[in-house]
Amino acid sequence: MKKLLMAAVLFSPGALFAQGKVKEVPYQVVGSIAQQEKPTKLYFRVRKDGKWATDSVTTPDGRFLFAGTVPEPMTAQLFASIPSTPDNPLGRKELAVLFLGPGETTVKLDNIADKPEAGGTKYQEAFNQLNSLTDNVVRQSIALSKEYRVLYKAKDEAGMKKLETRFDELEASRKAIMRKYLADNPKSPIGMYVLTQVAGYELDADEVEPIFKSLAKDARNTPSGKQFAYRLELAKKLAPGQPAIDFSQNNPEGKPVTLASFRGKYVLLDFWASWCGPCRAENPNVVNAFNKYKDKGFTVLGVSFDESKEKWEEAIAKDQLNWPQVSDLKGWANEVGKLYGIRAIPQNLLLDPQGKIVAKNLRGEALENKLAELFH
């Protein structure tokens, strides 16, 4: 189930595509809380330059204002401070996800327990329209996620597996709604945001390129539009049947390892990190595959998104990853990761003995089935 497996995600717009200096977009968020027993502390969070930027204000009379600039119209989150609990140690409740753009975005709340009303700009109005279309699917997904967490805590793997098909169905429904929204609204001011949601982290160029080309030129010329164009070209270069991009990076001993040196074997190019829970959960499946087929012409090359050499090596030893490993210890800025456009981990590519890509993102049974097909 991709939605749950792809939990370690990079949200940095500049990670794959070096942007030149862009003209910042000014925004204002003006809001009010009609009923509050005491002053409310609010937090406003937006993603800038690959990092979360958080502002805060206390509202003695219920009125609040946040203002600033962003590289382009984008989403932002509004939180309220509430008493902390074991499940919410920061003591923050998300009040709204907004879509910032030029002009004044308005937010009205009766109180922090109720759903707010937001509007004021064409960006927020378009975002409201999209949310109304996906609301039913999102509600079902939230309910299913709560059920899944209960099963996860109980370590009920059979129960979790039963929910996975439903998760995938809901995700497919959400994307279908978004694709129809773009077909009906190709000039939408939030078009690039919607397309990015449709494309996901494993971009299918054949599916999304026609949609991208149908969007307004202004949308395609935004920083995210230019980045998406870059991702499209990279996806074409990394499609099954294409040669993998060669690289050299150091192993834990500081010695360079090249991808080309593995020619003659099937190679699973595995992107992971010691801090990535889904990666560590998938490692036993990769270990089993490696041990079963290592004498038949199969190996693994791990590319770690770690920053700590010590933690990287500890994870290698603990998970018994007895295959070559490389990293430049730059975390999400790993040069091989950028070369391959990796935006979420775990991810992998299976290469044939000639260095061509056979398949992508094979996990669990899918990896075992593919290797059984190749070696039997």
Q: Which two tokens stand for residue 192?
A: 């690039």
Is residue 67 located within the same domain as residue 145? no
In degrees and rounded to multiples of 5, residue 74 shows phi and psi of: -160, 170
Is residue 224 located within the same domain as residue 261? no
R_g over Cα of the chain: 23
Question: What pLDDT is stored for residue 62 in this prediction?
Answer: 93
Half-sphere exposure of 351 (CA within 13 A, CB side): 25
- The alpha carbon torsion through 267, 268, 269, 275 (nearest 10 deg) reads -150
In degrees and rounded to multiples of 5, residue 270 shows phi and psi of: -110, 115
pLDDT single digits (tens) 208-267: 999 999 998 988 999 999 999 999 999 999 999 999 999 999 999 999 999 999 999 999
Q: Which of 67, 88, 117 is the last residue of a domain?
A: 117
Q: How far apart are the first and last CA of the chain?
A: 27
> Which range of residues forms the domain containing residue 70?
24-117
Q: What's the one-letter identity of residue 72?
A: E
Is residue 34 located within the same domain as residue 131? no
Residue 191 lies in a domain: yes
CATH of the domain at 262: 3.40.30.10
Question: What pLDDT is stored for residue 360 in this prediction?
Answer: 93
Q: Which two tokens stand for residue 130?
A: 């999209």
62, 32 contact by CB (below 8 A): yes
Is residue 253 located within the same domain as residue 368? yes
Question: What pLDDT is stored for residue 21 in this prediction?
Answer: 59
Is residue 204 located within the same domain as residue 289? no
Is residue 253 located within the same domain as residue 363? yes
| Type and span of the H or E element at 76 | strand 74-81
**What's the domain count of the chain?**
3
> In whole angstroms, how far apart are CA 14 and each of 5, 20, 180, 196?
24, 10, 28, 14
Is residue 230 located within the same domain as residue 272? no
Question: What pLDDT is stored for residue 11 in this prediction?
Answer: 42
Residue 153 lies in a domain: yes
Question: What pLDDT is stored for residue 22 in this prediction?
Answer: 66
101, 73 contact by CB (below 8 A): yes
Question: What pLDDT is stored for residue 17 in this prediction?
Answer: 42
Secondary structure (DSSP) of 4-18: HH--EE---TTSSS-
Q: Which of 53, 83, 117 is the last residue of a domain?
A: 117
Is residue 211 located within the same domain as residue 272? no
Among 9, 59, 7, smallest CA distance to 33 is for 59
Residue 224 lies in a domain: yes
Q: Which of 212, 237, 262 is the last residue of a domain?
A: 237
Residue 1 lies in a domain: no
Residue 54 lies in a domain: yes
Residue 177 lies in a domain: yes
Residue 146 lies in a domain: yes
Is residue 161 located within the same domain as residue 182? yes
* pTM reported for the whole predicted model: 0.80
Per-residue pLDDT tens listing for the chain (376 residues): 444 444 454 443 344 444 455 689 999 999 999 999 899 999 999 988 778 899 999 999 999 999 999 999 999 999 999 988 888 888 899 999 999 999 999 999 999 988 899 999 999 999 999 999 999 999 999 999 889 888 888 888 888 888 888 888 999 999 999 999 999 999 999 999 999 999 988 888 999 999 999 998 988 999 999 999 999 999 999 999 999 999 999 999 999 999 999 999 999 999 999 999 899 999 999 999 999 999 999 999 999 999 999 999 999 999 999 999 999 999 999 999 999 989 889 999 999 999 999 999 998 889 999 999 999 8
In degrees and rounded to multiples of 5, residue 287 shows phi and psi of: -60, -45
